Amino acid sequence: MNSAFALVLTVFLVSGVPVDIAVSVHRTMQECMTAATEQKIPGNCYPVDKVIHQD
């Protein structure tokens, strides 16, 4: 199964609570990593199905 990849940035609130923010979604891991480099985002790329909670 092919999966899209989300560029995720972890932000820490003033209270110290970490919050993950999906910045963008890409077709491949390589595209996602390239976007992170181009945008100078210290984020990580994860498969979308691991990022989105489907309850």
Q: Any idea which residue has 């963008």 for tokens? A: 24
Say which range, 12-16, 35-39, 45-49, has the weakest mean pLDDT. 45-49
Q: Six-digit token pair at 49?
A: 């199905």
Q: Which of 39, 36, 37, 40 is nearest to 8 (CA)?
A: 36
Confidence of residue 53 (pLDDT cuts 50, 70, 90): low
How far the first Cα of the chain sits from its last, in Å, is 21
What whole-number distance in Å separates Cα of residue 4 and Cα of residue 28? Answer: 6
How much of the chain, in percent, has pLDDT values that exceed 70? 89
How deeply is 5 buried, as exposed, middle or buried, from its count of CB atoms within 10 A (0-12, 13-18, 19+)? buried
Q: Any idea which residue has 């609130």 for tokens? A: 13
Confidence of residue 50 (pLDDT cuts 50, 70, 90): confident
Name the pTM for this structure.
0.81
Domain ranges of the chain: 5-51
